[in-house]
Structure 1
Amino acid sequence: MTVIVHADRAALVAQTADRLVALLAELVAAQGRATIAVTGGSVGIELLAELADREVDWQRVVVTWSDERYVAAESPDRNARQAREALLDAVPIPAANVRELPADDGTPLAEAATAGTALLRELGTIDLTLLGMGPDAHIASLFPGLPGVHEPGVAVIGVTDSPKPPPARLSFTVDAINASDRVWLIVAGADKAEAVRLARSGAAAETAPAGTAAGRLETIMLLDAEAAALLEEDGR
């Protein structure tokens, strides 16, 4: 894992957007399209908003989500709705290229997770999975101490007891995250500093799920200075 520390939150968001725009252009040029799994959370949505005025060939970008709140499609809690408001409704991305995880339409969560796994298999290799990280070192909706951190052979799981509301969620598994070619963890704030230290310490997945994230080609932890405050210089 490469660790990159930015001066502050604004620099983290702006420079990560630069990095992402460059990667999308590279992928489109090399393979004709780019498939990314985006994330929610305040920094994740700020990053998406930063992309709204950037030069991106949206016709060739496919977007899905690394986790989603299992609520009604119109709920403001949906990561997808927040992403649409921040970015997707403002750019010329084809509707067929926006691949949401299921919303709660009365379907049991386990069946929705199976549908999410099928969606992910259909998409094939994810070029980049973007992740935030919580103060407890969770990623996506994989929380410390809860079952589901490791679910071999399953790409999307249902989470019934998230410690953050809403309690029902869909989430990429560790295996799905690590099947991505690239994984970027984007983390800001002093309240995340201990979690960053823990994730970099080699702690078990059950203690710090973030420490398990590893792309097949590239893994980057992008931090602001506050989130990096507890890292030793030689550990960056």
Structure 2
Amino acid sequence: MQLQQFVNSDALNDAFAAQLVTILEQAIADRGAAYLVVSGGRTPQVLFAKLADTPLAWEKVTVLLADDRYLPPDAEHSNERLVRNTLLQRHAASARFISLYAAADDAYAAVPVIANRLSALPTFDAVILGMGEDGHTASLFPCCAELAAGMADNAPVVLATSPTTAPYQRITLSKARLLQSRQLFLHLVGSNKLAVLEQAQAGTDQLAMPIRAFLQQTAVPMAVMYSPS
């Protein structure tokens, strides 16, 4: 794990966007396509806007979320809505987006349709993760009954979870699928998140803090992009 610290979020986002563009451009040069996995929430919104303002062969880039709440894509708290409104704009409007939503009775019933959508995707070029103060990442929450299944090395590509400490059923990529990437990033802003990171690094129980599985593995390069504000 490599910790990259910045004086503020503006400096972080400038450097982060530049690194991502380099990765995407290299992937396009190498194989004619790039695959980027992003996370929702407030933290990445300025980063997404910077990427959207960057000229790139976006029509060759596929974007998907690491996880989403099981909500229609136009719902206020949908991560898909956030990505469409912030990242998939201007230059990046031509990128291909793969939704983690499918209309069904519930998230669990939607999984087979979503899994089929993702089944042919190759290794990702970059995965951007976030982290909650409980150490969850994507929708792999310590409180989920489905956590062990989602953290297993032989887990399916995608699964539904029902956190007891957060609203809504969720659709999330599994740990195993998220690790099928050339580069991992953890995007953190705020001194409280640095304290959680230090707690995660100090222990080994991955079910207590699922982010540990990503921080402590050595198969995929992991960069923590951090600023205090």
TM-score (norm 1): 0.87
Question: Partners in 2 of 1:170 and 1:24 — Cα distance?
Answer: 25
Question: Equivalences for 1:78-117 in 2 at 5 Å?
Answer: 78-94=78-94, 97-103=96-102, 105-117=103-115
Counterpart of 2:206?
205
Count of equivalent residues: 223
Instruction: Give the conservation status (yes or no) of the 8 Å contact 1:187–1:223.
Output: yes
Secondary structure, aligned partner of 2:5: strand
* Identical residues among aligned pairs (%): 26
**Alpha-carbon distance in 1 for matches of 2:55, 2:125:** 19
Partners of 2:129 and 2:141 in 1: how far apart? 13
Classify the secondary structure of the residue corresponding to 1:74: coil
Match of 1:58 in 2: 58
The residue number in structure 1 matching 2:173 is 172
The answer to whether structure 1 residue 15 and structure 2 residue 15 are counterparts is yes
Kindly tell me: are residues 8 and 201 of structure 1, through their superposed partners in 2, closer, same or farther at Cα, counting changes over 3 Å? same
Write the distance in 2 (CA, Å) between the matches of 1:203 and 1:192.
18
Partners of 2:59 and 2:199 in 1: CA distance:
39
Q: Which runs of 5+ in 2 are unaligned?
A: none
Corresponding position of 2:119: 121
TM-superposed CA distance for 1:199, in Å, is 2.1
In structure 1, distance between residues paired with 2:48 and 2:226: 17
Cα separation, 2, equivalents of 1:70 and 1:78: 8
Contact 2:51 2:92 (C-alpha < 8 Å) held by counterparts: no
Instruction: Look up the equivalent residue of 1:119 and give its one-letter code.
Output: R
Structural RMSD (CA): 1.9
What are the superposed Cα offsets for residues 48-76 of structure 1, whole Å, 9 maximum, x if unpaired? 11212112210110111100110122102
Map of 1:148 onto structure 2? 146
Counterpart Cα distance in 2 of 1:107 and 1:90: 35
In the alignment, is the contact (CA less than 8 A) between 2:66 and 2:129 conserved in 1?
yes
1:9, CA displacement in angstroms? 1.7
Which residue number corresponds to residue 183 of structure 1? 184
Q: Deviations 1:103-124 (Å, cap 9, x if unpaired)? A: 4x34332121222222222212
Q: Secondary structure at the match of 2:30?
A: helix
Deviations 1:177-217 (A, max 9, x none): 11222211111112212211122224311111111115844
The TM-score, its normalising length taken from structure 2, stands at 0.89
Whichever residue aligns with residue 116 of structure 2, its letter is A
Which residue identity does 1:158 align to in structure 2? A
